[in-house]
Amino acid sequence: MHQTLTRTAKELSWLFATQMGADRKQNKDLYALIDRGNFNLVIAFDVSTSSPATTEMAKFFFEIVIQELNSIEQSHLTENIVEHILQLGFKETKAKYKIGKASLLVIGTFNSGESVFCFHTGDIRLGNWKKDKSINWLTNVHTGANPLGEPFVQSMLKDENRKIVTRCFNLQKTFLLDYKKVTEVDCRLIIATDGFWAECDNEKQQAIIEGSEFSVQDDLSVLVLTWDRDDKLPCNRNGLLILWYPQ
């Protein structure tokens, strides 16, 4: 279902939090935020622990996407062109790395958050962080707990197949993306890996956003976004959040 996200007094700001999983040797989450004024694009990667690929694969993909975006006038960009660029990025990444898999979620806006589109595959999620601090997850996931594509519900968190990703950014398979037009009103957006949305309850999620750390098995990352100038976030820097502005 297509919806419209409306905001006033628009200016992008964000908060980013990430931490390495307790049994991980490297945090394999990586985000990129592309800011071209009214056009914003966020790309979130969660590279599979079982994959030999590292975040270098994600960085290469980001470089291809940024290069292509930089070659197109902003007024000519459309959702279809963005999807074409993502497919091109996959093709170039596949040619370079051959093997690698990750969850991927991309959101974009052409009008400073008045409407937001999303492409995704794997188990990164897009959600609304409401004023009452609850999170409403807007996108589904591709896991062994919902193998037929049925909506992921709370009870599935206990399913041992939840951590099996059934479709993702896999360099050895066809690159298929789900699409969603976001339509929730007057709240912040959240882009989170499964270490955040699946391994942490709401109380821990709020504490992580506020700066606390917890021991979790998987890497966890969360990016909070708003275009509301009256709700400005700190725009903090982190090595796992790549920021790109027009030259």
pLDDT, average across residues 32-36:
95
Average pLDDT, the chain: 92
How many whole angstroms separate alpha carbon 100 and alpha carbon 57? 8
What is the reported pLDDT for 7? 41
Closest CA to 198 of 119, 129, 245, 145: 145
How many whole angstroms separate alpha carbon 187 and alpha carbon 128? 6
pLDDT digits (tens, 9 = 90+) for 59-99: 999 999 999 999 999 899 999 999 999 999 999 999 999 99
pLDDT digits (tens, 9 = 90+) for 92-126: 999 999 999 999 999 999 887 778 999 999 999 99
Tell me the domain boundaries of the chain.
24-124+138-187+228-244
Return the axis-axis angle of helices 55-70 and 79-97, rounded to nearest 10°: 140
Q: Which two tokens stand for residue 68?
A: 């292509």
Name the DSSP class of 158.
Answer: G
Which amino acid, residue 213? E
Q: Which two tokens stand for residue 75?
A: 């007024």
Right CATH for 24-124+138-187+228-244 from 3.40.47.10, 1.10.1660.10, 3.20.20.80, 3.60.40.10 = 3.60.40.10
CB-CB contact of 153 with 162 (8 Å): no
Q: Which residue has the higher pLDDT, 1 or 212?
A: 212
